[in-house]
Chains A and B, each alone.
Chain A
Amino acid sequence: MAADITKELSPLPDRTPEPAFSADELVWTAAEQEQMEVYKKRYPTNDGAIMRGLWLAQDKYGWLPPEVIRLVAETLEVPYAQVYGVATFYTQYFKERKGKYVLDVCTCFSCQVCGGYDMLHHLEEKLEIHVGETTEDGLFTLQEAECLGACGSAPMLQITNGSYLHNLTTKKLDTLIDGLREGKRVPFVSVTLPQDADDLDGNRRSDVKATDTYHAPPVAKTVK
């Protein structure tokens, strides 16, 4: 029997989500506009500046909803689809709203065998969320990260694509969370080289106060 084409179709689902930012918010300041021009000049075509443009947008808006991605595309005069493709390829671009502090706990390779999962599970209990979730107050998002390139100071975590925190212990995590709740920022920490211990009093930089040395890693209780 032929399909009844006269029957009214059910309405299409509304696939366009409510924009997170209004048109008034989606403008660059003069300084940002200038920065974009600097990025553009660094590459033979504007495509090269997409990644930097997305970084600038993420720093400004906190995450990258479609309308922000479109703003970057229009600024750089490249197709929206290409910028969208780039934004969705790389893990550090946030495609959904995250907490104010994104805690990327490394559990990969060296961090796994040195207790990365202990740290992750401790944070899960302390923040009362599962990995991948955001706390109700919107302050913390907990994530499991792939190798962050600080294997000698495992276990470690990164805070919102910025500061590294090395040689984690549960005590250190408690201090971190309590500090962040009070709005204390985490400074850049320089990890000194073990070979410098005798030569340079363990620190080869006079412009960085916060330093850490490599420690013998803790014993991992859980590995998954």
Chain B
Amino acid sequence: MEATNPTSKAGDWRNYKRVLLPPVKDLHQLEVYEDNGGYKALRDVLSGDKWDPQSVTAEVKKSNLRGRGGACFPTGLKWTFMPPVDPDVPRFLCCNGDESEPGTFKDRQLMEYNPHLLFEGILIANYAMTIKTCYLYVRGEYAQWIEQMEAELEKLYKKGYVGENIMGTGFSTDIVIHKGAGAYICGEETSLMESLEGKRAYPRIKPPFPAQKGIWGYPTTINNVETLACVPLIINNGADWYSGIGAEKHPGPVLYGISGHVNKPGVYEYPSGMLITDLIYEVAGGMRGGKKLKAVVPGGSSVPIMKADMIDGVTMDVDTIREAGSMMGTAGMLVMDEDTDMVSFLRRITHFYHHESCGQCTPCREGTGWLENLVTRIDRGEGNLRDLDLLIDLCDQMEGRTVCALADAAAWPVRWTVTRFREEFEAKCKPAVFPTGDGATEAAVPAT
């Protein structure tokens, strides 16, 4: 096997030591987590003179941690958006564990195998922003993981890591696990807040941003599960250690969720900046049955699809992958082999977005339905060539014209799958019919 490709930004990833999901038996239990240095970061932050809320935020900012929920927004910067502390105004943290983006399944493994790292991250974030309550929003489908986490959380309350006067330091904060009930839209931060407030989860118009007016109108910060799990690591090891992992502009460990036609699918922890080819052929054991690679969706269903010839030398960090014509998203990567029917594949994606559109904005509510109907028609062999242009036109009319980004997320896969695999769509359309001049019409084979 050749040495690591020089364009990889993950360094010596073969000898990488995992930190988010370290190989420790029963790490999900409080006692084991404590024995392995758990809650040390929290203790350091709360007691002693080294840390105050400002310095914790500054350290996270310095580490260049970027959100792992898909948008890759710098976390430390987000924390500074919170208004100055006013003792009369409650403030909230929301941890987004809704994880419904198709192709994404990393947070579930983190919540099962290392929930205390998440809890510790939440507590430190609460301290850094002087927050009294964190709502951990977990999708309702993860019922069994919610039960397990609630049991562990109860232990935390008993041991005094959460609640009033934590570890005798005078700092008090609560964690509440909120169980969703099956709606993709709740992963959008403003609709997550609506859902928490016990309403139909219709996204809100921004501004005002959550930091100004969040849940129940109070200042709120919303972070992804994996993002908050990185915080104790930064406190324990320092911002420089963290920013030294992986790609310079998008550092840190990343949970890569690889699924689809590979020999060893699953969640893998490696530094950011891994080559996509390394992830497919080395980490995930190559293509199933030795088939040829056809396409990769690198970060969940809404990011632009990449053809096999586009992934050479592309690394998993926000800038490189954007230059290559896609997005980092959630690093939930779907790999497809040469036998995949792209039209049917897209039909199912459009069905998903049609089903999950909340119905608040017309371009999305109607547009997602139109996308599904058109792609289904093409998939059945009843489509016309002009439907392809109509699809792109629809995408133009949906993107950026709604309250939240679901319409964009629904339009991107259509736009890019149709553009990048156009010949497959054309092949499934009805042959174009041209007039011949003598009154009859003549069928022509679509151009390939």
Binding site for B on A (CB under 8 A): 42-52, 54-55, 78, 82, 85-86, 89-93, 107-110, 112-114, 146-154, 158, 161-164, 188, 190-191, 193-196, 199-200, 204-207, 214-217, 219, 223-224
Convert B96-133 into 0s and 1s, putting 1 for each residue whose CB lies closer than 8 angstroms to a CB of A.
00011111110111001100000000000000000000
CA distance A54 to B176 in the complex (A): 17
A193 to chain B, nearest CB (A): 6
Any A CB within 8 A of the CB of B349: yes
B101 touches A154 (CB 8 A): no
CA distance A158 to B336 in the complex (A): 24
B303 to chain A, nearest CB (A): 12
Subset of 19 A-B contacts with CB under 8 Å = A44-B216, A78-B198, A90-B181, A91-B183, A110-B260, A146-B184, A147-B103, A150-B105, A151-B257, A152-B266, A163-B144, A193-B113, A194-B268, A204-B26, A204-B27, A207-B26, A216-B285, A217-B261, A219-B339
Residue A108 contacts which of B102, B180, B197 (CB distance < 8 angstroms)?
Answer: B102
User: Given the complex, which residues of B lie within 8 Å of A55, measured CB to CB?
Assistant: 140, 179, 181
Residue B348 contacts which of A108, A158, A214, A215 (CB distance < 8 angstroms)?
Answer: A108
Report if A44-B340 is in contact (Cβ < 8 Å); known contacts: A108-B102, A196-B23: no
Residue A217 contacts which of B141, B196, B288 (CB distance < 8 angstroms)?
Answer: B288
Most B Cβ at <10 Å: residue of A43, A151, A162, A190: A151
**New A-B pairs, 18, CB < 8 Å, besides A113-B336, A149-B141, A195-B266:** A43-B198, A47-B198, A54-B181, A55-B179, A78-B198, A82-B199, A86-B198, A89-B358, A91-B183, A93-B182, A110-B260, A147-B101, A147-B103, A154-B259, A154-B265, A195-B269, A219-B289, A223-B341
B198 touches A90 (CB 8 A): no
User: Given the complex, which residues of A lie within 8 Å of B364, measured CB to CB?
Assistant: none
Interface class of chain A by DSSP: loop
CA distance A207 to B336 in the complex (A): 36
B334 touches A89 (CB 8 A): no
B254 to chain A, nearest CB (A): 13
A169 to chain B, nearest CB (A): 15
Report if A109-B347 is in contact (Cβ < 8 Å); known contacts: A47-B199, A150-B105, A163-B144: no
By Cβ-Cβ distance, the 9 closest A-B pairs, closest first, are: A47-B198, A109-B102, A90-B181, A92-B182, A50-B198, A151-B259, A199-B23, A147-B102, A214-B266
B102 touches A216 (CB 8 A): no
A195 touches B18 (CB 8 A): yes
User: Given the complex, which residues of A lie within 8 Å of B292, measured CB to CB?
Assistant: none
Within 8 A of A (CB), among B143-187: 143-144, 176, 178-184
Chain A residue with the shortest CB-CB distance to B186: A90
B100 touches A147 (CB 8 A): yes
Chain A residue with the shortest CB-CB distance to B176: A42
Any A CB within 8 A of the CB of B66: no
User: Given the complex, which residues of A lie within 8 Å of B358, measured CB to CB?
Assistant: 89
CA distance A148 to B139 in the complex (A): 9
User: Given the complex, which residues of A lie within 8 Å of B195, measured CB to CB?
Assistant: 51
CA distance A141 to B209 in the complex (A): 42
CA distance A151 to B356 in the complex (A): 18
A92 touches B140 (CB 8 A): yes
Within 8 A of A (CB), among B242-295: 257-269, 285, 288-289
Chain A residue with the shortest CB-CB distance to B300: A109
Within 8 A of A (CB), among B205-240: 216
Chain B residue with the shortest CB-CB distance to A201: B25
Chain A residue with the shortest CB-CB distance to B27: A204
User: Given the complex, which residues of B lie within 8 Å of A194, measured CB to CB?
Assistant: 264-268
Binding site for A on B (CB under 8 A): 18, 21, 23-29, 90, 99-105, 107-109, 112-113, 139-144, 176, 178-184, 195-201, 216, 257-269, 285, 288-289, 301, 332, 334, 336, 339-341, 344-345, 347-349, 352, 355-356, 358, 379
User: Given the complex, which residues of A lie within 8 Å of B349, measured CB to CB?
Assistant: 109
B178 touches A152 (CB 8 A): no
Report if A152-B348 is in contact (Cβ < 8 Å); known contacts: A51-B198, A90-B183, A92-B140: no
Report if A216-B352 is in contact (Cβ < 8 Å); known contacts: A92-B140, A223-B341: no
A149 touches B260 (CB 8 A): no
User: Given the complex, which residues of B lie within 8 Å of A45, measured CB to CB?
Assistant: 197-198, 216
User: Given the complex, which residues of B lie within 8 Å of A93, measured CB to CB?
Assistant: 181-182
CA distance A154 to B107 in the complex (A): 17
CA distance A162 to B142 in the complex (A): 8
A193 touches B102 (CB 8 A): no
CA distance A91 to B181 in the complex (A): 7
CA distance A148 to B289 in the complex (A): 26
Chain A residue with the shortest CB-CB distance to B284: A194
A53 to chain B, nearest CB (A): 9
B103 touches A48 (CB 8 A): no
User: Given the complex, which residues of B lie within 8 Å of A204, measured CB to CB?
Assistant: 23-27, 113
B356 to chain A, nearest CB (A): 7
B385 to chain A, nearest CB (A): 22
A85 touches B199 (CB 8 A): yes
A112 touches B348 (CB 8 A): yes
CA distance A58 to B431 in the complex (A): 52
Chain A residue with the shortest CB-CB distance to B148: A188
CA distance A48 to B135 in the complex (A): 11
User: Given the complex, which residues of B lie within 8 Å of A153, measured CB to CB?
Assistant: 265
